[in-house]
Amino acid sequence: MRARPRQQDRDAAIASHDDEPRSSGDKSESVSAVGKVFVILAALGDRGPIGISELSQHLGMSKTTVHRFLQTLRTLGYVAQEGETDRYRLTIRLFELGAKALESVDLVREADTEMRRIGQLTREAVHLGAFDEDHIIYIHKIDADYGLRMQSRIGRRNPLYSTAIGKVLLAWMPPQEAAHVLSRLEFKKSTPKTLASAQAVLAILPSVRERGYAEDNEEQEDGLLCIAVPVFDRFGQVLAGLSISFPTMRCGADTKAHYVALLKEAGRAISEKIGYREPTAP
């Protein structure tokens, strides 16, 4: 078994390329070399363990060039050689770098730009909410320019069953998990339109998932409509719900369709910023 390269070996490999002054021509070659490194890494990621000859042919590079880059990457710990063969594969070190980048991602910070954009375009209240012990909790909010007064603030908890964000969080859970969560709740009517049972909520979840958004039509507050879409994490799980709230008197068919489109666009943008990638069709 090959030992994992030591940090001093990595440092030496890097230093070996930086110990001489570089001309403008050298700089161009350096940029080209960096590009080749990432092409090699991408090919290893796509094709799995592969030999130098096959990799050289696939990339259209000479075997000497490919071997030289692979040896440097092996010294740095980004690729490993399988036994005594000429087959190379990626190591977990790239994942470690990616994990460090993801640690610095802040959902609220990434969502804020999109939420403010929606707020400026619509002048309505925009919320970001997450699952919290059988409720939703608002973790960010952009207030409406119209002076709309809502029973919401950052840190406030509201029921899953009577909010658009709550329905979004439930709709992307496995059905058995959603049923289990709802079975623990005490249903209280906030308005005459509040759904009164777990069965009533479960019945609408498939359509929520199919159309990609949920609604609270005066179910939490009289005279107030709310639309919400999911925000996905890097594993494809729903991390939060993004919503817009506005009075029913400002809800025409065109308005609603426009708001749904804005929310879906923003939901995708936020999801991508925190590492989510849309599944590719087979």
What is the amino acid identity at position 201? V
**Run of H or E including 245:** strand 238-247
> 164 φ, ψ to 5°?
-65, -40
Question: Residue 276 contacts by C-beta under 8 Å, 6 or more apart in sequence?
Answer: 232, 233, 234, 236
Could you identify the residue written with the tokens 């107030």? 224
Closest by Cα among 229, 234, 235 to 266: 229
Kindly state the DSSP code that residue 143 receives in the 8-state scheme.
-
Q: How many CB atoms lie within 10 A of CB 107?
A: 18
> How would you write the pLDDT of the chain (282 residues) with one tens digit per residue?
444 445 444 444 444 444 444 455 555 666 678 888 888 888 888 888 888 899 888 888 898 988 899 899 889 888 888 877 778 888 888 777 766 655 555 888 999 999 999 999 999 999 999 988 788 989 899 988 876 566 667 878 899 999 999 999 999 999 999 999 999 999 999 999 999 999 999 999 999 999 999 999 899 889 889 999 999 998 899 999 999 998 888 777 688 899 999 999 999 999 999 889 887 655
Closest by Cα among 103, 86, 83, 116 to 1: 83
**What stretch(es) of the chain map to CATH 3.30.450.40?**
105-273
Residue 182 backbone zone (phi > 0: left; psi -120 to 50: alpha; other: beta): alpha
**What stretch(es) of the chain map to CATH 1.10.10.10?**
7-101
Tell me the β-bridge partners of 128: 140, 242
> 189 φ, ψ to 5°?
-80, 115
- Beta-carbon-side half-sphere exposure of residue 15 (alpha carbons within 13 Å): 6
- Give CA–CA dist 223/246, Å, rounded: 9
Topology (CATH level 3) of domain 105-273: Beta-Lactamase (3.30.450)
Asked whether the whole model's pTM tops 0.95, one would answer no
Exposure string for 251-271, b = 16+ CB within 10 A, e = fewer: eeeeebeebbebbbebbbebb
The CATH code of the domain at 7-101 is 1.10.10.10
Asked if 156 contacts 137 with a C-beta cutoff of 8 angstroms, the reply is: yes
> 233 φ, ψ to 5°?
-90, -175
- Give CA–CA dist 106/119, Å, rounded: 20
